[in-house]
Amino acid sequence: MNEMNESKSDDVELLSNGNNRLDCRCKVTGCNSLIFRTDTAPLHRQEQKLPLGDHVDTISTFWRLDDVFKFENVTFTKETETENGKIKYLACCDCEYGPIGYQDVKNQICYVAIDRVKYSQPKNNDDHDS
């Protein structure tokens, strides 16, 4: 497969067998915490507003994790009421960058925004460093 497309509009480069083909990590320089491993989550499309700093983005492409135990490192906020129901925001547990996604409180499914994480080739027994 070719290198990832820099435009991020070509999601196919991120997929293998329907799931993420690369490890998903915190994108903060110097953190690099492993959020979840290769082949853990399928791509999911739905619109959700996520704050970041002093603005709010409408995100439409996420990784879907049906089980919180598929995460390597993530933290959850308290419940927040939104126009789409109650959610908990997800953030990096090491540097608290986020939200990188959210959890639907009703069904416990988590969604990680594909643009709020970075990607790396999987490494054996590697939890934090690049």
DSSP 3: P
Q: Which helix (H) or strand (E) holds 75?
A: strand 75-76
Taking the CB of residue 88, how many other CB atoms lie within 10 A of it?
19
pLDDT digits (tens, 9 = 90+) for 77-113: 999 998 888 999 999 999 999 999 999 999 999 999 9
> Per-domain residue ranges for the chain?
11-120
CATH of domain 11-120: 2.170.150.10
Percent of the chain with pLDDT over 70: 85
Answer with the residue of higher pLDDT: 97 or 5.
Answer: 97
